[in-house]
Amino acid sequence: MEEKGIRSSRVMLYLLQNGFTDVTNALGGMAEIERHAETTGTKHLLKKGEL
Protein backbone atom coordinates (compact mmCIF):
# COMPACT_ATOMS: atom_id res chain seq x y z
CA MET A 1 0.00 0.00 0.00
CA GLU A 2 2.82 2.40 0.82
CA GLU A 3 4.37 1.95 -2.63
CA LYS A 4 1.13 3.06 -4.27
CA GLY A 5 1.07 6.15 -2.07
CA ILE A 6 4.62 7.04 -3.02
CA ARG A 7 3.83 6.67 -6.70
CA SER A 8 0.67 8.73 -6.28
CA SER A 9 2.56 11.59 -4.66
CA ARG A 10 5.26 11.47 -7.35
CA VAL A 11 2.59 11.62 -10.04
CA MET A 12 0.86 14.55 -8.37
CA LEU A 13 4.16 16.40 -7.92
CA TYR A 14 5.13 15.84 -11.57
CA LEU A 15 1.78 17.15 -12.76
CA LEU A 16 1.88 20.24 -10.58
CA GLN A 17 5.47 21.04 -11.58
CA ASN A 18 4.60 20.76 -15.26
CA GLY A 19 1.68 23.15 -15.33
CA PHE A 20 -1.24 20.78 -14.89
CA THR A 21 -3.83 22.52 -12.74
CA ASP A 22 -6.75 20.08 -12.70
CA VAL A 23 -5.10 17.28 -10.73
CA THR A 24 -7.78 15.20 -9.04
CA ASN A 25 -6.29 11.71 -8.70
CA ALA A 26 -3.19 9.73 -9.54
CA LEU A 27 -4.86 7.37 -12.01
CA GLY A 28 -6.16 10.26 -14.04
CA GLY A 29 -2.78 11.87 -13.54
CA MET A 30 -0.98 8.91 -15.07
CA ALA A 31 -3.14 9.25 -18.17
CA GLU A 32 -2.23 12.95 -18.31
CA ILE A 33 1.47 12.14 -17.92
CA GLU A 34 1.30 9.60 -20.73
CA ARG A 35 -0.37 12.12 -23.06
CA HIS A 36 2.15 14.79 -22.05
CA ALA A 37 5.06 12.39 -22.63
CA GLU A 38 3.76 11.52 -26.09
CA THR A 39 3.40 15.16 -27.12
CA THR A 40 6.75 16.29 -25.70
CA GLY A 41 8.84 13.35 -26.89
CA THR A 42 9.67 12.17 -23.37
CA LYS A 43 7.82 8.84 -23.50
CA HIS A 44 11.16 6.98 -23.33
CA LEU A 45 11.74 8.53 -19.89
CA LEU A 46 8.29 7.44 -18.75
CA LYS A 47 9.05 3.85 -19.74
CA LYS A 48 12.32 3.96 -17.78
CA GLY A 49 10.53 5.31 -14.73
CA GLU A 50 12.40 8.60 -14.82
CA LEU A 51 9.26 10.72 -14.97
Predicted confidence at residue 19, as pLDDT, reads 79
With pLDDT > 70 as the criterion, what percentage of the chain qualifies? 51
Going along 1-51, which residue ranges are E strands? none
Q: How many domains does the chain have?
A: 1
Which amino acid is located at 51 in the chain?
L
Q: How many residues does the chain have?
A: 51
The whole-model pTM stands at 0.37
Range of the domain at 19: 2-48
Q: Is the pLDDT of residue 26 over 60?
A: no
3 vs 9: CA distance, rounded Å: 10
Q: Is the pLDDT of residue 1 over 70?
A: no
Predicted confidence at residue 2, as pLDDT, reads 43
